[in-house]
Amino acid sequence: MLASAKTKKSVTKKSSTKKTTSTKKTSIKKIAKKITKKTSPKKITKPKRTKVICISHKEDADGISSAALIRQAFGGDALLVDYPGQMEALQQVVGDEKLKSLYICDLGLSKKTQDEFIDIMKTLRKNKVSVTYIDHHDIDPDVVKSLEKIKVKVIHDINECTTVQVYNAYKSKLNEHATFVATCAAITDYMEDRPIGSKLLQMYDRQFALISATVLTYNIVGHQKEPDYLLYLVEELAESKFPHDIPNTFEFAQIQVEKLSQIIAKVKAGMKTMKNLGHMEITDSGASGAVNFVMGLSGKDVGVAYKERIDHGIYAVSVRGSKNCKVHLGKIVNLLATDLGGSGGGHDRACGAVIPKPKIKKFITELNKKIK
Ligand SMILES: [Mn+2]
C-alpha cells in the first residue's frame, strides 16, 4: 500500500529528526566537552525530552479520531492499541527517555488494570513527563483522585465521547474541520445526542455525517491487522480530510458490509441462548462487529460475542444490552471479569472484557445469572 508506506515514513521522520544532532555524534560531544565548563555535562548525556505521544484506542472511530485531533493540536506520534495491548504500550513508552508529553485517549480502566496504570503514571510523573488522560468510560472516583494527586491531567466525562472532549479542551489549537472529526466519533459511540455532540452534529447535514462516520468505522474495523493503515487514517484525519477524500474508503466499506451480511447468516446458524442472553463464539470476524447481531437475532436483551486471541491466551468479549436492559452491564462485567482473572468494563449497554481462555464458559453462565 503506497500511501500508507509514505505516511509511515513521514510519521517517523517527524518524531526523530530534532534530537539526533546533539546526542549521537561523538565529535560534537568531544567539542562540547572541550568548550564547556558552562554547559552542564548532564545536557550531553541525557537526551532532551521532546517527544509527544498519544496512546489511543485503535478499534473504533472515537479512538482513531481522538488520536487525530491530538496530532493536529500537538503533533507527535500515535500509538494505537486495543484493550489487551494497552498496558504493554504504556510500559513501552515509560522507558522512552525522549518522551515529553503523553496523551492517553479513549482507553477505559478497570479494577484489573487501574493499579498498574497508576503505578506507570507515577513513574512518568517522576520523570517529569506531562500526562493527560482523556476518556468517557466509567471510572472509579478514587482512581481520578490518585491521578490528580500526581498531577496527571484528567479530562473525563461519561456524557461525551473522547474525541468531543479532546475537541472541547483544545479547540483553540484545532481547525474548523475538527468539529466534523468529533461528530463522526460521537456518532460511532452512540453519543451524538449529548450536549456538545448534538451541537456539533447540527453543524452538518445529518446523512452526510452518518455516511462519513459509518465508512470511517468500516475502514477502521476492517484494517485492525494493518497498524500502518490505521496510522495513515490518523494522519489523514489530522490533516482535515473527509473520509470520502481518503482513497478507496467507500469501496472498502462496501466489502465490509458484504462481510457483515455474511455474519448475520452465521450468527443465525451458530448463536446459542440462555435465559437472559444470547451468546456466540466468533472465529472469522471481530467480536464487536457481530455482537449486535447476536443480541438482535437472539431476541434477548443482552448479547455476548467472544473471540479467541490465541497469542494472548484470552477471549476478547463484547457485550451489548438492548434498551430494555435495566442493569449496568459495564459495572457487572468489570466485577465479573476481575473475579475471573480478566478485566473489563464500559458503558451501561455496551462494554467489553478480556477473559482468560479457560474461564469463558463461567463468564457467560455467571453473567446470565447476574442480569435477571
Ligand atoms: Mn469512545
What domains are defined for the chain? 49-244 (3.90.1640.30), 252-370 (3.10.310.30)
How does the average pLDDT of the chain come out, rounded? 89
- 71-81 tens-digit pLDDT: 999 999 999 99
The strand order across the sheet containing 153-156 reads 77-81, 51-57, 99-105, 130-135, 153-156
Q: Residue 31 C-alpha to ligand 1 middle, in angstroms?
A: 51
Q: Lowest-pLDDT range, 15-19, 220-224, 331-335?
A: 15-19
pLDDT at 291: 95
Count of alpha carbons within 13 Å of 284, Cβ hemisphere only?
Answer: 10
pLDDT higher than 70, residue 61: yes
CB 183 within 8 A of CB 197: yes
Q: Residue 99 C-alpha to ligand 1 middle, in angstroms?
A: 25
pLDDT at 69: 98
| Measured distance CA(196)–CA(182) in Å, rounded | 10
Q: Residue 106 C-alpha to ligand 1 middle, in angstroms?
A: 5
pLDDT higher than 60, residue 29: no
Share of the chain above pLDDT 90, in %: 79
Alpha-carbon dihedral sign for residues 89, 95, 99, 100: positive
Q: Residue 26 C-alpha to ligand 1 middle, in angstroms?
A: 46
27: confidence class by pLDDT, cuts 50, 70, 90: low
Q: Residue 220 C-alpha to ligand 1 middle, in angstroms?
A: 14
What average pLDDT does the segment 258-276 reach? 94
- 142-174 tens-digit pLDDT: 999 999 999 999 999 999 999 999 999 999 999
Q: Residue 162 C-alpha to ligand 1 middle, in angstroms?
A: 5
Higher pLDDT residue, 241 or 346?
Answer: 241
pLDDT higher than 80, residue 47: no
Q: What angle do CA 291, 252, 255 make, to 5 degrees?
A: 60
Q: Residue 40 C-alpha to ligand 1 middle, in angstroms?
A: 45
pLDDT at 7: 41
pLDDT at 58: 97
What average pLDDT does the segment 212-233 reach? 96
User: What pTM was computed for the model?
Assistant: 0.78
Q: Residue 248 C-alpha to ligand 1 middle, in angstroms?
A: 25
pLDDT higher than 60, residue 353: yes
Q: Does residue 287 come out as left (phi exceeding 0), alpha (psi in the -120 to 50 range) or beta?
A: alpha
Q: Residue 183 C-alpha to ligand 1 middle, in angstroms?
A: 12
What average pLDDT does the segment 116-143 reach? 96
Q: Residue 351 C-alpha to ligand 1 middle, in angstroms?
A: 11
pLDDT at 41: 53
Q: Residue 41 C-alpha to ligand 1 middle, in angstroms?
A: 45
Q: Which triple of cell numbers denotes residue 61?
A: 472511530
